């Protein structure tokens, strides 16, 4: 075990800027929009801090497991799914009738399979998922700025094509809570997640001879320093993300999602430069039409995304990790562009990313979340081989 | 890329994004309160013998601006 680590030097200017920005935006949203929207912004800030301090990502964890059968990240994600389901299922099963909350339900069809597969490839090429792109961008990684820009382009293109994809074979949305009852569905889902956890554990043990636990302890003398400056054990990340996702469900009325906002930003930019996204079928329906014709501060997902970016910026500054020096060559720019496009297009087709569809869908009992997991993981395997083919990574089994 | 360059690029990007949000918020104000209410709930009247619509089974129709009723808002 490591001894007491030296306190990282904070980036004071970035701490000052991010704190001032968070305070000013909070006050403005509270006054000009609503108290609810203010709360969702604050929750977003908390999510950004949690994601960065715990370094809680999906794409890196999946790649590490596919390449080297190191499953710490995936097991943490399974714990997150189990804990969030435990919190969501009773609420969505109307155990507390006074609480009005909605599940992240979406159709189960071709668009989800294709979209999640493309998203899985995009995760590996772009270097981040929905949450990962946001918080690493907030950390000041310039390559993720390229990924996010093309994420927005891809999501906008996806919104133009979604109605065609929805005409392909598929089924209506399916809620396991509505069909089986909340506790029966929770029991079955918990068993399935436990079986997946055991499978990952077994594969890891067979390949590597040992299994690294999902950490939760820190030495007592480091507690305050680690809480403020990071790095958090993965278990803290699991608890923080599950708790803040619950807060989102209670405050906003639906689970945390990220990528809807990217399509909205893209459509607004397209509209500002003379395009007419309002003529596309997607932006001419229900909530998308309302949000396109309203201030961006009206959209909860956008406001939460702003919070995540600023929260990650604050956390990175506190940890002394803001705007790291990095190598940005032509190949990295190319993979960031193609990865971003695939992430955005895939997320729109699949009704969300790893947060809105995978975590939100599965934790609120939507079958499309499970379909997303299978198709997204297959896409990630394809993405890992693409990285080897493009000579970004060494071949499987090669000494590192 | 040096750390200073990263900071300049990120600062410029955040500044541009902030200006874009301000411009958007100025051009397109918040929806009227009755529209906000409509976005929370949608009442659908079903004739006898008619099938119950499943708004979550597709992108939604122009009849319902409800965030909760549309998977397209995920």
pLDDT tens-digit readout, A161-195: 999 999 999 999 999 999 999 999 999 999 999 99
Chain A residue closest in CA terms to B24: A295
Residue B9 placed within a domain:
yes
What is the sign of the dihedral through the CA atoms of A24, A27, A31 and A34? positive
Q: Which residues of A touch B52 (CB under 8 A)?
A: none
* Angle between helix A35-54 and A234-252 (nearest 10): 170
Instruction: Indicate if the pLDDT at residue A83 is higher than 90.
Output: yes
Is the pLDDT higher at A24 or at B61? A24
Residue B67 placed within a domain:
no
Residue B13 placed within a domain:
yes
Is the pLDDT higher at A307 or at B38? A307
Domain count, chain B: 1
Q: Give me the residue label for tokens 């129709």.
A: B61
> What's the pLDDT at A10?
77
The average pLDDT across A90-95 equals 95
Q: Is B52 on the interface with A (CB under 8 A)?
A: no
Query: What residues form DSSP beta bridges with A170?
Result: A109
Q: Which domain holds residue B25?
A: 1-42
Residue B21 placed within a domain:
yes
3-state secondary structure of A170: strand
Q: How many residues does chain B have?
A: 74
Contact A145 B13 (CB under 8 A): yes
Chain A closest-CA separation from residue B37 CA (Å): 12
DSSP string, A3-36: -PPPPPPP-HHHHHHHHHHHHHHHHHHHHHT-HH
Q: How far apart are CA A240 and CA B16, in angstroms?
A: 31
Chain A closest-CA separation from residue B65 CA (Å): 3
Reported as a single tens digit per residue, the pLDDT across A194-205 is: 999 999 999 999
Which tokens hold the place of A129?
Answer: 């998922």
Reported as a single tens digit per residue, the pLDDT across A100-131 is: 899 999 999 999 999 999 999 999 999 999 89
Greatest Cα pair distance, chain B, in angstroms, is 69
Q: How many CB atoms lie within 10 A of CB B67?
A: 25
The residues, any chain, with a CB within 8 Å of residue B23's CB and separated by 6 or more, are A272
> What's the pLDDT at A101?
92
Chain B closest-CA separation from residue A373 CA (Å): 16
**Among partner residues A140, A297, A300, which is closest to B6 by beta-carbon distance?**
A140
In which element (H, E) is residue A171 found? strand A170-171
Q: Give me the residue label for tokens 């000013």.
A: A24
> What's the pLDDT at A328?
85
Q: Is B13 on the interface with A (CB under 8 A)?
A: yes
3-state secondary structure of A200: helix
**Among partner residues A259, A286, A324, which is closest to B70 by beta-carbon distance?**
A286
Reported as a single tens digit per residue, the pLDDT across A204-214 is: 999 999 999 99
Instruction: Indicate if the pLDDT at residue B42 is higher than 80.
Output: no
Radius of gyration in angstroms for the set of CA atoms belonging to chain A, rounded to a whole number: 20
Chain B closest-CA separation from residue A287 CA (Å): 4
Contact B70 A285 (CB under 8 A): yes
Residue B72 placed within a domain:
no
In which region does residue A358 sit, left (phi positive, over 0), alpha (psi from -120 to 50) or beta (all else)? alpha
3-state secondary structure of A175: strand
CA dihedral A244, A343, B72, A132 (to 10 degrees): 10
Reported as a single tens digit per residue, the pLDDT across A146-166 is: 999 999 999 999 999 999 999
Q: Give me the residue label for tokens 């891809």.
A: A154
Contact B60 A301 (CB under 8 A): no
Q: What mean pLDDT value characterizes chain A?
A: 94
Instruction: Indicate if the pLDDT at residue A267 is higher than 60.
Output: yes
pLDDT band for B55, please (50, 70, 90 cuts). Answer: very low
Contact A352 B70 (CB under 8 A): no
**Among partner residues B9, B56, B67, which is closest to A287 by beta-carbon distance?**
B67
In chain A, alpha helices (H): 12-32, 35-54, 59-68, 72-92, 110-126, 130-138, 142-166, 176-180, 182-208, 223-229, 234-252, 260-272, 286-292, 300-319, 330-349, 360-363, 367-389
Reported as a single tens digit per residue, the pLDDT across A353-376 is: 999 999 999 999 999 999 999 999
ipTM confidence: 0.86
> What's the pLDDT at A375?
98
Contact A300 B67 (CB under 8 A): yes
The average pLDDT across A97-102 equals 91
Q: How far apart are CA B54 and CA B44, in angstroms?
A: 11
DSSP string, A253-279: SS----THHHHHHHHHHHHHTT--GGG
Is the pLDDT higher at A398 or at A368? A368
Q: Is B53 on the interface with A (CB under 8 A)?
A: no
Q: How far apart are CA A349 and CA A39, in angstroms?
A: 29
Output the pTM of the full model.
0.91
Reported as a single tens digit per residue, the pLDDT across A32-60 is: 999 999 999 999 999 999 999 999 999 99
Q: How far apart are CA A43 and CA A311, in angstroms?
A: 9
Instruction: Indicate if the pLDDT at residue A4 is higher than 70.
Output: no
> What's the pLDDT at B33?
57
Instruction: Indicate if the pLDDT at residue B28 is higher than 70.
Output: yes
Q: How far apart are CA B9 and CA A141, in angstroms?
A: 10
The average pLDDT across A302-310 equals 97
Angle, CA of A33, A39 and A45, to the nearest 5°? 115
Residue B27 placed within a domain:
yes
Q: How far apart are CA A114 and CA A122, in angstroms?
A: 12
Chain B closest-CA separation from residue A142 CA (Å): 6
3-state secondary structure of B38: helix
> What's the pLDDT at B6?
87
Instruction: Indicate if the pLDDT at residue B43 is higher than 60.
Output: no
The average pLDDT across A277-289 equals 92
Residue B69 placed within a domain:
no
Q: Is B15 on the interface with A (CB under 8 A)?
A: no
pLDDT band for B59, please (50, 70, 90 cuts). Answer: low
Q: How many CB atoms lie within 10 A of CB A198?
A: 12
Q: How far apart are CA A120 and CA A127, in angstroms?
A: 11
Q: Are A352 and A256 in contact (CB under 8 A)?
A: no
pLDDT band for B4, please (50, 70, 90 cuts). Answer: confident
Residue B65 placed within a domain:
no
> What's the pLDDT at A92?
96
pLDDT band for A294, please (50, 70, 90 cuts). Answer: very high
Counting Cα atoms < 13 Å in the Cβ hemisphere of A148 gives: 25
């Amino acid at each position: 075990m490591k001894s007491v680590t030296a306190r990282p030097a904070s980036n004071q200017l970035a701490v000052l800027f991010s704190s001032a920005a968070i305070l000013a935006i909070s006050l403005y949203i509270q006054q000009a929009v609503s108290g609810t929207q203010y709360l969702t912004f604050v929750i977003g800030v908390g999510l950004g801090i949690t994601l960065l301090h715990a370094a809680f990502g999906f794409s890196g964890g999946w790649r590490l497991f596919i390449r080297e059968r190191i499953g710490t990240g995936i097991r943490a994600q399974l714990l997150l799914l189990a804990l969030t389901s435990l919190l969501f299922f009773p609420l969505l099963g109307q155990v507390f009738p006074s609480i009005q909350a909605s599940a992240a339900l979406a159709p189960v069809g071709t668009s989800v399979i294709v979209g999640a597969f493309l998203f899985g490839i995009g995760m590996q090429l772009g270097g981040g998922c929905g949450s990962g792109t946001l918080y690493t961008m907030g950390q000041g990684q310039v390559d993720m700025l390229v990924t996010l820009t093309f994420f927005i382009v891809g999501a906008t293109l996806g919104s133009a094509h979604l109605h065609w994809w929805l005409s392909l074979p598929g089924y209506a949305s399916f809620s396991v809570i509505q069909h089986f009852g909340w506790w029966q569905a929770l029991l079955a889902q918990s068993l399935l997640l436990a079986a997946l956890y055991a499978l990952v554990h077994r594969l890891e043990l067979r390949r590597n001879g040992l299994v690294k636990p999902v950490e939760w302890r820190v030495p007592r003398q480091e507690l305050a320093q680690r809480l403020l400056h990071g790095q958090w054990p993965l278990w803290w990340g699991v608890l923080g993300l599950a708790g803040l996702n619950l807060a989102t469900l209670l405050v906003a009325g639906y689970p945390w999602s990220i990528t809807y906002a990217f399509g909205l930003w893209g459509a607004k930019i397209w509209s500002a430069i003379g395009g007419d996204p309002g003529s596309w079928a997607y932006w001419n329906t229900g909530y998308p039409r309302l949000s396109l014709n309203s201030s961006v501060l009206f959209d909860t997902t956008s406001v939460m995304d702003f919070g995540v970016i600023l929260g990650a910026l604050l956390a990175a500054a506190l940890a002394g990790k803001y705007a790291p020096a990095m190598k940005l060559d032509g190949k990295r720019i190319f993979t960031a562009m193609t990865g971003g496009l695939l992430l955005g297009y895939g997320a729109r087709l699949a009704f969300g990313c790893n947060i809105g569809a995978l975590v939100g869908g599965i934790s609120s009992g939507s079958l499309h979340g499970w379909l997303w997991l299978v198709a997204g993981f297959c896409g990630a395997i394809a993405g890992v081989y693409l990285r080897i083919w493009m000579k970004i990574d060494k071949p499987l089994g090669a000494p590192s | 890329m040096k750390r200073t360059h990263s900071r300049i690029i990120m600062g410029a990007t955040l500044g541009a994004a902030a200006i874009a949000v301000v411009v958007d918020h100025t051009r397109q104000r918040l929806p009227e309160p009755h529209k906000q209410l409509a976005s929370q709930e949608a009442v659908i009247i079903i004739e006898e013998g008619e099938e119950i619509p499943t708004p979550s089974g597709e992108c939604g129709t122009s009849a319902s601006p409800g965030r909760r009723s549309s998977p397209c808002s995920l």
